[in-house]
Amino acid sequence: MVIEQELLIREAEPEDAVRLIEFLNQVGTETDFMTLDEEGITLSVSEMEYFIHRQALSDNQLYLLALLDDELAGVLSITADQHRRVRHIGELFIVIKKAYHNQGLGGVLLEEGIEWAETSQTIRRLQLTVQKRNQAALHLYLEMGFVLEGVQERGAYIEDKFVDVYFMGKLIG
């Protein structure tokens, strides 16, 4: 039996701050593939509201929410510096709630982010980091045209072990 849910992808708004903090705190406990851990996000509600507001005003930043039947299921963020020499580089962050892993939601969000970058007139490079052991994410990024650009040995420390991290990038336009 397949249960269908309504998917809505939209830009985050300052009013989403509490919901977003709760989501990030939850996903930080669900996986050790992120730098965010059980200590949670360190932003207050007002700081998150300001962060979302600043991103919305920028021509080189994006914060997307993926809602399934109004439940926050995933987030994609592209952040960029405002200095002229590097404002074309978007740093990509994506996370999906564990209940929705391996259902294609990450690919849908990533497609939206890439499409936005292609039409942005500003972003000409997307880049990200991913733990070497995160094979599902690595496969998705490669499938979406990202290339492996380097390895940061001991880039993360998980359960008393060092883990290598890949640097990946995708040229836009």
Assess whether pLDDT exceeds 50 at residue 71. yes
- Other C-beta atoms lying within 10 Å of the C-beta of residue 74: 25
The average pLDDT across 38-48 equals 86
- pLDDT for residue 165: 96
Write the pLDDT tens digit of every residue in 91-118: 999 999 999 999 999 999 999 999 999 9
Residues sharing a CB contact under 8 Å with residue 71, sequence separation 6 or more, in sequence order: none
Q: How far apart are CA 51 and CA 57, in angstroms?
A: 10
Tokens, residue 153: 């040995």
| Local confidence band at 3 (pLDDT 50, 70, 90 cut-offs) | low
| Local confidence band at 1 (pLDDT 50, 70, 90 cut-offs) | very low
Write the pLDDT tens digit of every residue in 18-40: 999 999 999 988 887 877 777 77
